[in-house]
Amino acid sequence: MLPDHGDSQFCDLVHGYAKGLSEFDEMIRKMIFEKLGIFEKYWDEHKNSTSSLLGMLHYRVPKDDETNVGLPAHTDKLITTILSQHQIGVGGLQIMKKNGEWIDVEYSSPHSFIFLVSDILTAITNGRLPCPYHRVNMGNRERYSIGFSSIAKQGYIIKVAEELIDEHHPLLYKPFDALKFFQYCLSRDHKDGAPTLEGFCGV
């Protein structure tokens, strides 16, 4: 959160950037709902149950006795994530392919964005849009990036869209409270390894 006093020009700049990312994120989610044929029935409820967060991220150069892991492998426990970075040629983000191989993700320009599906959207789409495992490595140069996320408001019960359940796509996830899922991921209630959507509400 930014203060309402002090450097008002900087605050206005960040708020304006966040507003633009919010509109961009909403546009992509609308396109997804329309493409999957669930816009008319589910969009209004989804939109009204969604909020957003903006974070400014700093990855320093690791010390000699440290590993280069900035963020270990994980899936985002939100709805969507948008990443942007002005520095080009300073990588760090890696995404795991289906075969377990890690690949580097590079920004093509200072004006490019990386859009990631997160766990909640995976649940809504009954797994049609999987959330990728990703991690962040620190390099030999410090790096700054911005992360924007759409999040579920408190009390939003996540349900698989009925239209996305059929003989070839059986129900994968039971309805769940988005906040309780997030709390579960922060707790030690999950038994093996990192918390997963399947471990919390898988059928």
**Domain boundaries, given as residue ranges, for the chain:** 8-155
Report the pLDDT value the prediction gives residue 29, as an integer from 0 to 100: 98
Contacts of 94 (CB under 8 A, 6+ apart): 102, 103, 104, 105, 134, 135, 136, 137
Report the pLDDT value the prediction gives residue 190, as an integer from 0 to 100: 62
Cα Dmax for the chain: 58
Put the strands of the sheet holding 69-74 in their side by side order: 69-74, 134-137, 93-96, 102-104
Amino acid at residue number 63: K
Contact 69, 102 (CB under 8 A): no
Contact 167, 38 (CB under 8 A): no
pTM across the whole model: 0.89
pLDDT tens-digit readout, 129-165: 999 999 988 877 888 889 999 999 999 999 999 999 9
Q: How confident is the model at residue 170 (pLDDT cuts 50, 70, 90)?
A: very high
> Is pLDDT at 96 greater than 80 in this prediction?
yes
Q: How confident is the model at residue 97 (pLDDT cuts 50, 70, 90)?
A: very high
Report the pLDDT value the prediction gives residue 175, as an integer from 0 to 100: 98
Report the pLDDT value the prediction gives residue 71, as an integer from 0 to 100: 84
Report the pLDDT value the prediction gives residue 61, as an integer from 0 to 100: 84
Q: Which residues sit opposite 80 in a β-bridge?
A: 117, 150
> Is pLDDT at 73 greater than 80 in this prediction?
yes
Tokens of 141: 């140069």
Q: Does domain 8-155 have CATH number 2.60.120.330?
A: yes
pLDDT tens-digit readout, 104-121: 888 888 888 999 999 999
Eight-class DSSP state of 44: H
pLDDT tens-digit readout, 121-133: 999 999 999 999 9
> Is pLDDT at 5 greater than 70 in this prediction?
no
